[in-house]
């Protein structure tokens, strides 16, 4: 199971209400409107309403998020990745 936390990354979503992820290294920020994650494939921002983390296992790199999921976006370099791309 350790392989998931080290290399592979997957995302599964059911009805835009339940999201299961593998390859999660860390949760860097959490609120009911946004979850910021560090994954094996880069930083990931999940946005929505009434978001909650139902399960987080950093040993095997899995995470379950529930709520009203509106979007998910990978960023290349932290919070200012999008702005840095605009001003190149």
Q: pLDDT for 15-29, tens place per residue? A: 999 999 999 999 999
Judge whether residue 37 has pLDDT over 60: yes
Instruction: Identify the weakest region by mean pLDDT among 7-11, 58-62, 79-83.
Output: 79-83
Counting other chains too, the contacts that 35-43 makes at CB distance below 8 Å and 24 or more residues apart are: 35/65, 37/63, 39/9, 40/5, 40/6, 40/7, 40/8, 40/9, 41/9, 41/74, 42/74, 42/75, 42/76, 43/74, 43/75, 43/76, 43/77, 43/78, 43/81
Confidence of residue 4 (pLDDT cuts 50, 70, 90): very low
């Amino acid at each position: 199971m350790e392989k998931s936390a080290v290399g592979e990354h997957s995302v599964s979503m059911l009805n835009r209400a339940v999201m299961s992820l593998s390859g999660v290294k860390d949760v860097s920020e959490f609120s009911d409107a946004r979850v910021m994650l560090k994954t094996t494939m880069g930083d990931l921002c999940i946005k929505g309403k009434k978001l909650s983390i139902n399960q987080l296992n950093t040993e095997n790199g899995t995470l379950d998020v529930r709520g009203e999921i509106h979007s998910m976006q990978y960023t290349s370099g932290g919070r200012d990745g999008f702005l840095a791309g605009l001003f190149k």
